[in-house]
């Protein structure tokens, strides 16, 4: 029985589908099938039952899955312990960033990491929240930042802070906006977000709450662009509450009504990276920068 076979067994169990597991493992589907078959021959019983939509764990598979998790964690612990013998922490971490540097406190975080761990190779890659989540799930990124709810059981999340979003409008629209009903706001042009942005989901939820279906005059995937377009008089949009109130105080735009959409900013990483030395220091410095003890959850725990 090989470690890579157990890793494949656990991944297939998590995904419930051979093709999706193969994608995450960077293997072909026949290779995944062969590894599962070899493991089943070694344990002497089938581990999965095929269904129309994929595969489900057999009774034997359900019994053996917790032990597979224990063995994989033990192997990671042994590697981490061995690496600690080398002295100063070294390694590479590719991190997915989103929105603005100020919003995710990336400057103070990276500064602290570089000061304490000069041999740590940090690579920051900016993207849209949905892409960051998918790349962490596929292990193309070691970790990243994410806004919203994580639907994947193989991705762990650490809540950093709560976020509130408000509707904003151009400052020159005051006469059109003051006292306007939800229906009236729905007849005005709006700035939409890319489908891969978590703000797209928030905007859609807000529209459902207001029972409106506005016309989108533009669609963006970069949060800072929203403020610029609103101030230019393009349309309504949603914006982080603290930023919206600050810009309203400067007379650059106006906050509309009392509608609020709440969500969370999270740090995400592949569940099987738990306990990794490099990941541990990333999380430890996050806790320091955010001034709180990070609370780890997974999609399974939230469901």
| Predicted confidence (pLDDT) per residue in 92-150, tens digit | 899 999 988 888 999 999 999 998 888 889 999 999 998 999 999 988 999 999 999 88
CA distance 234 to 160: 32
Is pTM, for the whole model, over 0.75? Answer: no
What pLDDT sits at residue 124?
Answer: 96
The reported pLDDT for the residue numbered 298 is 47
């Amino acid at each position: 029985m090989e470690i890579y076979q157990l890793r494949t067994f656990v991944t297939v169990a998590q995904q419930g589908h051979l093709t999706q597991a193969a994608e995450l493992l960077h293997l072909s589907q026949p290779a995944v099938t062969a590894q599962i078959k070899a493991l089943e021959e070694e344990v002497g019983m089938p581990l999965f039952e095929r269904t129309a939509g994929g595969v489900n764990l057999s009774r034997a598979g359900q019994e053996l899955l917790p032990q597979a998790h224990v063995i994989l964690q033990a192997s990671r612990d042994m590697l981490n312990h061995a690496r600690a013998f080398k002295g100063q922490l070294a390694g590479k971490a590719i991190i997915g960033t989103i929105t603005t540097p100020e919003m995710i406190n990336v400057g103070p975080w990276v500064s602290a990491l570089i000061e304490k761990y000069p041999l740590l190779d940090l690579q920051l890659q900016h993207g849209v929240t949905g892409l960051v989540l998918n790349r962490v799930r596929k292990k193309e990124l070691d970790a990243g930042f994410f806004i919203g709810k994580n639907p994947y059981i193989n991705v762990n999340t650490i809540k950093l802070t709560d976020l509130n979003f408000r509707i904003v409008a151009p400052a020159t629209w005051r006469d059109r906006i003051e006292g306007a009903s939800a229906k009236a706001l729905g007849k005005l042009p709006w700035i939409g977000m890319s489908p891969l942005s978590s703000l797209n989901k928030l905007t859609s939820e807000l529209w459902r709450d207001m029972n409106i279906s506005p016309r989108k005059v533009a669609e963006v995937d970069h949060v800072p662009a929203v403020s610029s377009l609103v101030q230019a008089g393009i349309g309504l949009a949603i914006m982080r509450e603290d930023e919206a109130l600050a810009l309203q105080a400067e007379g650059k735009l106006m906050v509309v009504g009392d509608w609020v959409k709440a969500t969370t900013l999270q740090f995400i990483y592949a569940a099987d990276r738990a306990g990794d030395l490099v990941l541990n220091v990333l999380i430890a410095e996050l806790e320091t920068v955010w001034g709180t003890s990070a609370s780890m959850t997974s999609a399974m725990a939230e469901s």
